[in-house]
Structure 1
Amino acid sequence: MPARRRPDVTSLELVGGPEPVTVGIHDHDPSWPAAFADHRDRIRLALAGRHVDIAHIGSTSVPGLAAKPIIDILVTVDDITAEEDYLDALLGAGYELRVREAGHRMVRTPERDVHVHVYEHDARAVDDYLLLRDRLRTDATDRALYERTKRELMQRGWDDMNTYADAKTAVIEAIKERARAERGRS
C-alpha cells in the first residue's frame, strides 16, 4: 500500500442524507456500454496525467442482466486521501460528491444515473467488484439468481438506497465465494 498523504476519514459522510429507491429494475439496455464509454472518456479527460484505472462495474456492465438504469464506474487512484488529485477534477467535470467514507469516495451525475466509485488501486473492494462482475458475465446460473433476487427485493418499498443494497449482500457474497473457489481451481 502506498504511503498516504494524510489519515483517511473515519466516518461516513452521505451528502444529502438517505435517499429512497426511485428507480426500478429494467431489462438490459444495449446502450449501457456506450453510456459507460462516454463517462469513461469524460473521467479520463478530467484526470489526465494521473495514474488511474477505469472500469464498468455493476449490473449494467453485465450483458443480459436486468438492472436499475444507473451506470456504475470504478476509478482507482494512488491515494484516496489525496482528494486534490482527483476529486476537484471530477467535480469540475460535472459530477457531484455523494459519499465520503474510509477508503471510498463516490461522485455521481446530477441526474443520478451514473455513480463513480473511487478507491485505491489495491483496495479489496476493487477485486470484489471485478470478481462479481466477471462471475455474472460468465455464469448464467448466478446471473439468474442475482436478477431474481433484485426483482424480488424491488417489490418492497425502500426508504434508503443503501438499505436496498445491503439486502443483496448475502446473495452477492455467495456468488463471490463460488467465483473465488472456481478461480482457485484454475
Structure 2
Amino acid sequence: MITSRKPRRPDVTTVEFVGGVEALVLELHSHDERWADIFRDHRRRIRDALAAVDVEIEHIGSTSVPGLAAKPIIDIVVTVDDITAEEDYLDALLAAGYELRVREPGHRLVRTPARDVHVHLCERGDPAVDDYLLLRDHLRSDARDRALYESTKRTLLSKRWDDTNDYADAKTAVILAIKERARDARGQ
C-alpha cells in the first residue's frame, strides 16, 4: 500500500463535465435491500483496482439509508491521499470499467456506464466527506428528517429537470438544515 504523502500539486480550477450536461428522467424507488449488496460488490471492485493505494470507501447518499426512497443510483465516496495525483487512482478505476464524468477542484467522479453507481473521489481530510457521513448517519437514525428529506425529493422530482445538477442544487437548503440539526444532535 502506498502510504507516503506525495507533494501537493495545483488542482484543476474549473468544473469539467465529461460528456456535457445530461438530462435524465429521475424517479424515486422504495428502499431496496439489494443496494447494500451492490455497494459491497463495488467496494470490492474498487479495492481490487486500487490495491496499491491507501483508500477508505463508504456508501453514502440515499441508497445508504434503510427506509429512505431514493433514485436507484449507488453513491460511494473514496478518499485518497492526494486528489491531484490522478495517476494513483484514475487509470486503475477506468481499467476496472468506470468512466470519468466530473473533474473539479477537490473532487473527481467516475461512474458505471449504466450510470447506476457514482464513485466520488475526495482527498483524505476533505470536509465534504465528513458532511456526506454526517448526513447519512443522521438520516439513518432520525425518522423525522428522513421523512422530510424524502418528501423534499418527491416534490422536486415532480418537476422536469434538464440537468441533474440543478435537481441536486434544489435540495441544498433542506440538506443544510438537516446537517445543522445533525451537528446539534452530536453536540458540535
Q: Structures share a fold, TM > 0.5?
A: yes
What letter is aligned with 1:179? A
1:124 correspondence with 2:105 = no
Task: Please tell me whether the aligned partners of residues 28 and 64 of structure 1 are also in contact (alpha carbons under 8 angstroms).
Answer: yes
Determine if the alignment matches structure 1 residue 19 to structure 2 residue 42: no
How many residues are treated as equivalent by the alignment?
184
**Residue aligned with 1:181, SS:** helix
Question: Matched residues in 1 for 2:13 and 2:72: separation?
Answer: 31
Residues 139-154 of structure 1 aligned to structure 2 (within 5 Å): 139-154=142-157
- Aligned match of 1:111 in 98, 111, 114? 114
Distance 1:117 1:4 in 2: 22
User: Which residue in 2 is equivalent to 1:100?
Assistant: 103
Question: Does 1:82 pair with 2:85?
Answer: yes
In structure 2, C-alpha distance between the alignment counterparts of 1:3 and 1:169, rounded to whole Å:
34
Counterpart among 87, 91, 96 of residue 94 in structure 2: 91
Whole-Å Cα distance in 1 between the matches of residues 150 and 98 of structure 2?
A: 28
TM-score, normalization by structure 2: 0.96
Q: What secondary structure is seen at the aligned counterpart in 2 of 1:130?
A: helix
Residue 182 (structure 2) pairs with residue 173 (structure 1): no
> TM-score, normalization: structure 1?
0.97
Structure 1 runs (4+) deviating above 3 angstroms are: 2-5
Q: CA deviation at 1:60?
A: 0.2
Q: Deviations over 1:111-169 (max 9, x none)?
A: 00000000011001000000000000000000000000000000000000000000000
CA RMSD of aligned residues (A): 1.0
- In the aligned structure 2, how far is the partner of 1:178 from the partner of 1:76? 25
What amino acid maps onto 2:11 in structure 1? Answer: D
Determine the structure 2 residue equivalent to 1:183.
186
Give the counterpart of 2:167 among 164, 167, 170: 164
Q: Bigger shift: 3-12 or 50-59?
A: 3-12
Deviations 1:22-80 (A, max 9, x none): 23111111100000000000000000021100000000000000000000000000000
Q: Distance in 2 between matches of 1:128 and 1:8?
A: 21
Change (3 A) 1:4 1:156: farther
Letter in 2 for 1:136: L
Tell whether the 8 Å contact from 2:26 to 2:157 is kept in structure 1 after alignment: no
- Equivalent residue for 1:137? 140
Aligned AA (1:20): A
Deviates more, 1:14-23 or 1:132-141: 14-23
Q: Which amino acid aligns with 1:12?
A: V
How many Å separate the matches in 1 of 2:142 and 2:7?
38
Q: How far apart in 2 are the matches of 1:157 and 1:164?
A: 9
Unaligned runs of 5+ in 2: none
